[in-house]
Each structure stands twice: as C-alpha cells, then as structure tokens.
Structure 1
Amino acid sequence: MLVLAGCATRPSEADSTAKPDAEGTFPVTIGSVTIDRQPARIVSLSASATETLYALGAGPQVVAVDSTSDYPPQAPHSNLSAFSPDPEAISAYNPDLVLVSEDPSGLSAALAKTGVKTLVLPAPVTLDDAYRQFADLGRATGHQAEGESLARQARDDIDKIVAGTPEPARPLSYYYELDQTYYSLTSTSFVGQIIARFGLANVADGAGTGDYPQLSAEHILRVNPGLIFLADTKCCGQNPDTVAARPGWDTLDAVRQRHVVGLDDDIASRWGPRIVDLARAISDAVKSAEQ
C-alpha cells in the first residue's frame, strides 16, 4: 500500500547532462549490485526514489520516470509502469541504472542481459531504513556527500518536530484511513512508527493481522478516536465533510471537535524526503487537538 502519465519520446544520448564523478567513489557496491561508474542515464520506477534523486541533485542524470512519479514536476514523466515493468520499453531509454522498489517479475535479470544494472530499493521498515536509503542513493549516483547530508537533515528535522510537539496531556487515539473500506495501518508499520513518536494510540493496533488490517465501521465507532487522518483525499475524494456524512460518524470526538485531518496521499505513502512534511502534518494535528 506504500507503493503507489503521459507520453515521452526516447531521449538521445546528448540529453544527459550528468556531472562527472567528482567524488571518486566508484565503483560502489550496494547490496548485491556493484556500480562501476557514475550513472549518466537513470530510469526510476519508484516515486520515492524519484523524489530522492532530485533532492540529491541527481535530476540531470534522470532520463525517464514511471507514470506514478509525479513529483517533482520537472521529472521526465513517461508511461513506464512500476507495477508491470516492460524491459523492452525501459531499454528504449538506453539506461545505465534502473531503480525499482521491488522486483517480483525478474526485471533485474532481464535487464542484466543487456548490461543494465538494476538497484532494488524496497519500502523501508523503519525510519533508519529510509535514512540509509537516502545515503545509498547518494553513493549510487555519485552524490555521496549530498546523500549523507539529506539523511542527516531529515533525521534532525523529524527529531526537532517531535521534540517541539508536546505529548498529549490526556490519552489521544487516532484512526488512519488508507481507503474507504477502512483499511488502516498499525504502529509497527513505517508510517505508524512515525506517528507513534508523537505519543498517540492507534485504534488499529490489535484489531487485525499484519501491518495493514481492515477495520470495520463498528470498531471505529466503538473506540471513538480523537483524531482521524485521511490518506485517501486525492485518490478517493475524502475530507472532513464526507467523513461526517457517514452513518453515525458525526458522533465521533474527532468529527465533533473538527480533528479530521486530510493528508496528501502521495506524501503519506512514500518514503522520500517529504517524510519530514508528513511528520510536520502529524505534529500540527496533535497541537490543534490539544488546544
């Protein structure tokens, strides 16, 4: 659930304006992948990786991104699919490095036959995993110092946001909505761990199996959360008014006290540098609930 167009013509070799490897860090090995020289033509099939590449300053090296990579706006969007990657369509961009969040269809093996390296950057389990991925992407693209700086800055920013948010004076619970069928997330999920740092109780904990259980409307009404976070505002048009219109939901404390918070679906489902923005949105909601 954490992985979330238009046409693009094939770029020419001259389109790449990647800077030469000034750091002298190549070859580098990340996991089982060894990258011999600074990649000049990167294809990103991960929206989170795309955001990170541009934050690192590696944007000029990117020749194509998948159809879900809508941020930043200047990324070279294409109709490449992150969910059903086509090796032939990817190869048309003549990449020297391809980034994916998972590789269930054997994409890396198919591209390896043409000499293209594929780096798999899976969804992180913890914040430390996300910070490590920033640093790894920096090393992989010839921006090691920038990657380490980005990881350090994100860690410091989130720590400061948490430290600057007073813990609730009384127990404060929340419901985090992924879609209108009441799929949610627990405190052990990646986003759940971020929210847990603010001292909130998650109404999905113990209510199902796995990190992303499906709750029932009856359960949510019974536990009466003080905060509701909506991660389905863009995909599904949910907002405080639509929530209040659900049968019985106007009795919830979160609805009555106007503590239903709409989040940007993309920020709430990716693990790029904008996780800091997610932490800030959670902090603002907690502060508002305590006023």
Structure 2
Amino acid sequence: MIVLLLVLAGCASHPPDEDSTAKPNTEATFPVTVGSVTIEQQPMRIVSLSPSATETLFALGAGPQVVAVDSQSDYPPQAPHTKLSALQPDPEAIAGYHPDLVIASADTGGLSAALAKTGVKTLVMPDAKTLDDAYQEFIQLGRATGHQAEGESLAQQTRDEIGKIVADTPKPAKPLTFYYELDQTYYSATSKTFIGQALAQFGLKNIADGNDPAISGGYPQLSAERILQSDPDLIFLADTHCCGQNAGTVAARPGWNTLTAVKNGDVFPLDDDIASRWSPRIVDLARAVSTAVTKAAHAG
C-alpha cells in the first residue's frame, strides 16, 4: 500500500471540466487493440485515474480529449482535476463524466467490470517496471487515443534525451553508493524497480539491494543502522514535498551527520512526483541524478 501511495503522491482539487472541446483526429485508424482492450473509435472523453498516464496524455497532445483526472493527477496544471480517487475508485462518480474511455494503473475493486456494465471500456496501464516499459506505455497511450505517431516520437525522444544525459555525465573513479529515500521510515527502492533502474544507468550502487534486490517487491524498509553502516556517498530524498525532508533534517537525525553524503553536502532533494512517476518527466529525474553524480565525481 505504501508503494501505491507513493506512486500516487501529490494532490489537487479543482472544478471538473464538464465538456470536452477535443476534435477527432481524422488520420487516426480505429478500431485499435491495446493489450486486451479493443477501442472502436477515437475516444473523445477520457477519464484518467493515473498521474503518470495523465502527464503522458498531455505530452502526446491528447489533453483536449481528457475530461477528468483523479485527485492525485496534479500535473500539468491545465489538467481537469477532480476529487475522483484512484485508490478507491467510484464507478458511479466516474460514469458521471460520461467517458468513452477510462485509463487506470490498476483494476482496483473490479473497476473495469463495473464500468463495462455502463458500456465504458477501461484501459489498465500497470506500473512501469523498467524504462522500456515506460516507453512502451507512451506508444500504447498514443495508439489508444489516436496519437500513434506522437507516442512513438515521445518514446524515442525521451529515450534519446536520457541516453545523452547519461553519456554526458562524468564517470567516478569508483562506483558511488547511494540511498534513495521514499519516506521518513526508510522505505527505499532497489535496482529491481523502475526508479532503481533509472539510477543504475549512471553506474551507481544501491545500498537497498543487499543480497536480494527483489525483496519486498523491490521496496524494502531499511533500518537506520543499515543506512549508517552502509555510509552512502549520495542520498536522494523523494520525500521533500510530502514530508518536508531536506539536507538539514537529514543531518539532524541521530548519527547521520557522520555519513559521507552528509559531510560532503551530497544530499539531494527530488520532486516527489517526478521521482515516483513513469511519465515523460523522467528526463527531469535523470538530469537531477546527473547533477548529483557530476558534483560528487568532481569533488572526488
């Protein structure tokens, strides 16, 4: 549950957009089948219950087709924010927006079956486990919404940008170790997760991996003792907005002022949302990691 909450981090509540001004894409070819869902015609009233999907839809140019997004979809600002819950979806409330397609990250509570009774199809886009998964979802969302060319372009552009950032980042003489913090109770992400893989591209060694990076689904809860004993070179904080964490609060924890990362000023706050979503903004995450590695490499 904590992982799902972190993935859905962020909140906003604005009046819903009652009408879609989207115009059909006459070049789109329908029907199309994405996963196990066949979409007969281009959807013009989309409800997104996934912050990552919401960001991607707008990046694709499908924003005008989106009539409602869940309460955690706080980006981009122009998204039609509502109080719809992705954690506890209410089929009746969702149907109230008269969607012709609902996009969710999970089929929570039998959502797709409930909406099917009203004639609405649900496209489930599960959590990306790898960067390639994220790129594939860009393409799939493009196909599902009549923006296939844009989806393919977005996937390639994102892949290329991240590849360039990684290539341009200096390589330390020896691999740097890091601790990635999801919350103040020391939940972290191993190299078996989407975020872990994104950081691994920079040649970093994850202290959360231990002997089994797959433990706890890739999201283990570390102990303060383990973190202190590992003495990471870098600390990334993905709990800045939610929990007010920063270099100062980390240094104030018992014993943490002795850590190499703290002493060298290598504690890096991240935007919670960017650090938890598999949207095109993963490029921003890559830039933040590159900045951290470059600083540490030059200091070393």
| TM-score of the alignment, normalized to the shorter chain, above 0.5 | yes
> Would the alpha carbon gap of residues 274 and 57 (structure 1) be closer, same or farther in structure 2, given more than 3 Å must change?
same
Give the equivalent residue in structure 1 for 2:84. 80
Distance in 2 separating the partners of 1:138 and 1:58: 8
Which of 2, 8, 29 matches 2:15?
8
Question: Aligned residues: percent identity?
Answer: 71
Give the equivalent residue in structure 1 for 2:52. 48
Report the CA distance between 1:10 and its aligned residue.
6.8
3-state DSSP of counterpart to 1:106: helix
Q: Deviations over 1:112-144 (max 9, x none)?
A: 111101000000111111000000000101111
In the alignment, is the contact (CA less than 8 A) between 2:60 and 2:150 conserved in 1?
Answer: yes
Are residue 183 (structure 1) and residue 183 (structure 2) matched? no
Are residue 23 (structure 1) and residue 27 (structure 2) matched? yes
Aligned partner of 1:185: which letter?
A: A
Give the equivalent residue in structure 2 for 1:155. 159
In the alignment, is the contact (CA less than 8 A) between 1:176 and 1:229 conserved in 2?
Answer: yes
Give the equivalent residue in structure 2 for 1:63. 67
In the alignment, is the contact (CA less than 8 A) between 1:65 and 1:77 conserved in 2?
Answer: yes
3-state DSSP of counterpart to 2:210: coil
Give the equivalent residue in structure 2 for 1:260. 267
Q: Structure 1: which 4+ aligned runs deviate by more than 4 Å? A: none
Normalising by structure 2, report the TM-score: 0.94
Aligned partner of 2:273: which letter?
A: D
3-state DSSP of counterpart to 1:176: strand
Q: Deviations over 1:172-220 (max 9, x none)?
A: 1000000011111111111001101101111111267230111111111
Are residue 234 (structure 1) and residue 238 (structure 2) matched? no
Aligned partner of 1:267: which letter?
A: I
Which ranges in structure 2 are unaligned for 5 or more consecutive residues? none
Query: Where do residues 131-146 of structure 1 align in structure 2 (5 Å cutoff)?
Result: 131-146=135-150
Distance in 1 separating the partners of 2:16 and 2:141: 26
Aligned partner of 2:271: which letter?
A: D
3-state DSSP of counterpart to 2:108: coil
In the alignment, is the contact (CA less than 8 A) between 1:43 and 1:65 conserved in 2?
Answer: yes
Which of 231, 239, 249 matches 2:256?
249
Report the CA distance between 1:7 and its aligned residue.
5.0
> Would the alpha carbon gap of residues 217 and 112 (structure 1) be closer, same or farther in structure 2, given more than 3 Å must change?
same
Report the CA distance between 1:9 and its aligned residue.
5.0
3-state DSSP of counterpart to 1:246: coil
Aligned partner of 2:117: which letter?
A: K
Which of 212, 221, 225 matches 2:219?
212
Q: Deviations over 1:15-59 (max 9, x none)?
A: 222221222311000011000001010000000000001000111
Q: Deviations over 1:91-121 (max 9, x none)?
A: 0000000000001310000001111010000
In the alignment, is the contact (CA less than 8 A) between 2:17 and 2:80 conserved in 1?
Answer: no
3-state DSSP of counterpart to 1:184: coil
Query: Where do residues 161-180 of structure 1 align in structure 2 (5 Å cutoff)?
Result: 161-180=165-184
Distance in 2 separating the partners of 1:283 and 1:22: 41
Which ranges in structure 1 are unaligned for 5 or more consecutive residues? none
Alignment: residue pair count: 288
Provide the alpha-carbon RMSD of the alignment: 1.2
3-state DSSP of counterpart to 1:265: coil
Distance in 2 separating the partners of 1:218 and 1:265: 25
Distance in 1 separating the partners of 2:25 and 2:63: 15
